[in-house]
């Protein structure tokens, strides 16, 4: 790619899918930031009938910008199903790349161009807090410890060599999503991200982690709950046991890499490192 070309020139049309539930104070700002950082991408807002009126703000943004689309669902049905509905829309409408991005401002749109560049040689790019160069801003130590611990647990249980498997800032190729059995996915929250990572790796997909700066939301309330954490713990344990019994989805054939660090590693070697 020459410096005048944008990554999206070779990748084709990109849809940024943004689920929202009660993000009234965040939505307009994040949409504007995306439109400024990467003007050539489209945005799909998937709103679950937010009681705070986020859906009406989304409609207003869509009415004044042909690149902003809105999907309304009748009620809160979880992050996972919102993404699956959004992916389905993007696949049906001819997009080649689907980006996951939170509406709360934690994911910086300025990181998106380098993620899209990395996708030219990958099937899934994860914006990663836990590779060299990645950082978390404004999280209490306890919250970061929980997230880091969850990722060590995932790597030990599943042996997939990804450092930020719970991260929700991602770019998928359309063909990656077509190949991983989206219709069978019923995980929510963090588990949804782990589930799709595992499915991609098991399918032989190349996963690249690009360092990002993740900033805690400044406005609005987190939807994370104990139930979300418990779901991830239980399911990952189940997948890990299934893998050890030879019935799991985790395959050793896929490699993962870290953009910007020049490192590439396999799942098993990485699991060994994490255990030390």
Ligand X SMILES: Nc1nc2c(ncn2[C@@H]2O[C@H](COP(=O)(O)OP(=O)(O)OP(=O)(O)O)[C@@H](O)[C@H]2O)c(=O)[nH]1
Q: Provide the binding-site residues for Mg ion, judged by CB under 5 A.
A: 102, 104, 106
User: Rounded to the nearest whole angstrom, what is the least distance from the CB of residue 54 to Mg ion in the complex?
Assistant: 14
Backbone angles phi, psi at 43, to 5 degrees: -125, 135
Q: Does residue 223 interact with ligand X by CB under 6 A?
A: yes
Q: Which does 147 bind (CB under 5 to 8 A by kind): Mg ion, ligand X, none?
A: none
User: Rounded to the nearest whole angstrom, what is the least distance from the CB of residue 171 to ligand X in the complex?
Assistant: 16
Among residues 32, 36, 138, 222, the one that binds ligand X under rule CB under 6 A? 222
* Residue (135 or 263) nearer to Mg ion, CB: 135
Q: Does residue 48 interact with ligand X by CB under 6 A?
A: yes
Cβ proximity of 254 and 205 under 8 Å: yes
Among residues 7, 19, 55, 167, the one that binds ligand X under rule CB under 6 A? 19
Report the C-alpha gap between 36 and 205 in whole angstroms: 31
Residue at token pair 């990952």: 236
Q: Does residue 45 interact with ligand X by CB under 6 A?
A: no
Q: How far is CA 261 from the centre of its chain?
A: 20
Q: Does residue 99 interact with ligand X by CB under 6 A?
A: no
Burial (CB < 10 A; 0-12, 13-18, 19+), residue 198, is buried
C-beta neighbour count of 183 within 10 angstroms: 8
* Residue (55 or 167) nearer to Mg ion, CB: 167
C-beta neighbour count of 213 within 10 angstroms: 16
User: Rounded to the nearest whole angstrom, what is the least distance from the CB of residue 217 to ligand X in the complex?
Assistant: 5
Piece of 70-78, 119-127, 173-181, 245-253 that binds ligand X (CB under 6 A): 70-78
User: Rounded to the nearest whole angstrom, what is the least distance from the CB of residue 111 to Mg ion in the complex?
Assistant: 15
Q: Which does 78 bind (CB under 5 to 8 A by kind): Mg ion, ligand X, none?
A: ligand X
Among residues 76, 91, 113, 203, the one that binds ligand X under rule CB under 6 A? 76
* Residue (136 or 251) nearer to ligand X, CB: 136
Q: Does residue 128 interact with ligand X by CB under 6 A?
A: no
Binding site for ligand X (CB under 6 A): 19-21, 23, 46-48, 76-79, 82, 102-104, 106, 217, 222-224
């Amino acid at each position: 790619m020459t410096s005048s070309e944008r990554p999206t020139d070779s990748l084709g049309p990109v849809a940024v899918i943004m689920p929202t539930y009660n993000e009234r104070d965040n939505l307009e700002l994040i949409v504007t930031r995306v439109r400024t950082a990467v003007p050539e991408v489209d945005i799909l807002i998937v709103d679950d009938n937010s009681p705070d009126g986020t859906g009406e703000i989304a409609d207003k943004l869509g009415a004044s910008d042909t690149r902003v689309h809105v999907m309304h669902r009748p009620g809160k049905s979880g992050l996972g199903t919102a993404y699956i509905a959004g992916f389905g829309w993007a696949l049906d409408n001819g997009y080649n790349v689907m980006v996951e991005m939170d509406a709360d401002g934690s994911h910086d749109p300025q990181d998106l161009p380098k993620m899209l560049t990395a996708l030219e040689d990958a099937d899934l790019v994860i914006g990663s807090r836990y590779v060299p160069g990645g950082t978390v801003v404004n999280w209490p130590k306890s919250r970061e410890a929980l997230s880091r611990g969850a990722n060590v647990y995932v790597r030990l249980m599943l042996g997939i060599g990804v450092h930020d498997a719970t991260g929700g800032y991602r770019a998928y190729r359309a063909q990656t999503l077509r190949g991983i059995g989206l219709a069978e996915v019923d995980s929510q929250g963090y588990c949804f991200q782990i589930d799709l990572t595992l499915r991609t790796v098991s399918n032989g997909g190349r996963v690249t982690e690009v360092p990002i700066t993740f900033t805690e939301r400044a406005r609005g309330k987190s939807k994370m709950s104990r139930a979300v954490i418990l779901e991830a713990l239980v399911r990952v344990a189940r997948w890990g046991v299934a893998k050890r019994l030879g019935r799991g989805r985790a395959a050793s054939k896929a490699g993962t890499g870290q953009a910007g660090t020049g490192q590439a590693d396999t799942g098993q070697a990485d699991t060994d490192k994490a255990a030390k």
